[in-house]
């Protein structure tokens, strides 16, 4: 009788443990990122006018923590050829994104532009002749707190073309940023090592809902950035 009671107690303990393990707290899990769609978000931001720009690069939440801060992502961006806008002047309204983390639509944290080798004034050249640029969004809401940074990257035309996105500019911009980030980079005395992974079919391919009707191939680039 005692043995039976002990067995039943053990089984109850095991069942309780299994039950608790099946409940995963997405806000506390260490992960590269959470799929925005799973939380009611989207891989497209809200660019206004009914269209959205693809969130086609993710800086993994498993990157070095200092990379994922506002100052940290700016320094990393400068190590791969991007910087703040020309004299801090931004034209146009900020764009928002819903990363499925419980915050709903949140405006971009920052917008950074290709600096052509000069982190101080090089983005002024980008504003004139066009180039690569990206917007940053942080996934840190109560229901999906990965800390990952989602980037909307695109190649744009020169000022005479109104900075419109280049043909195939979303995929082209993504791939150019990935190429610049691959391997070892440095800026301001900080050394980075970046692993690049291409996630095929992570977002819907095609032009449906995409700003300017520019089709995308559906791939997302995942960057895991480690400070050495």
Distance, in Å, from the CA atom of 66 to the CA atom of 180, rounded to the nearest integer, reads 20
Q: In what order do the strands lie in the sheet with 82-83?
A: 82-83, 110-114, 131-138, 149-156, 57-59, 220-227, 190-199, 183-187
- In this prediction the pTM is 0.86
pLDDT, one tens digit per residue, over 44-58 is 999 988 899 999 999
CA 140 from chain center: how many Å? 12
Average pLDDT, the chain: 87
pLDDT, one tens digit per residue, over 49-108 is 889 999 999 999 999 999 999 999 999 999 999 999 885 555 557 899 999 999 999 999
Average pLDDT of 111-140?
90
């Amino acid at each position: 009788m005692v043995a039976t009671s002990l067995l039943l107690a053990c089984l109850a303990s095991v069942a309780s443990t299994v039950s608790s393990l099946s409940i995963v707290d997405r806000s506390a899990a260490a992960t590269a990122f959470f799929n925005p769609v799973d939380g009611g978000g989207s891989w497209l931001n809200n660019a206004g006018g009914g269209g959205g720009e693809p969130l086609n690069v993710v800086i993994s939440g498993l990157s070095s923590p200092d990379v994922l801060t506002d100052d940290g992502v700016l320094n990393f961006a400068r190590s791969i050829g991007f910087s703040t806008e020309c004299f801090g002047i931004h034209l146009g309204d900020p764009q928002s994104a819903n990363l499925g983390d419980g915050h709903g639509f949140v405006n971009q944290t920052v917008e950074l532009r290709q600096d052509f080798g000069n982190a101080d004034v090089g983005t002024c050249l980008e504003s004139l002749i066009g180039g690569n640029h990206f917007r940053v969004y942080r996934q840190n809401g109560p229901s999906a707190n990965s800390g990952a940074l989602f980037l909307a990257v695109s190649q744009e035309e020169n000022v005479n073309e109104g900075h419109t996105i280049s043909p195939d500019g979303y995929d082209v911009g993504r791939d150019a940023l990935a190429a610049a980030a691959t391997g070892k980079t440095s800026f301001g005395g900080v050394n980075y090592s970046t692993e690049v992974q291409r996630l095929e079919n992570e977002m819907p391919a095609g032009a449906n809902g995409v700003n300017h009707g520019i089709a995308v191939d559906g791939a997302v680039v995942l960057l895991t950035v480690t400070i050495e």
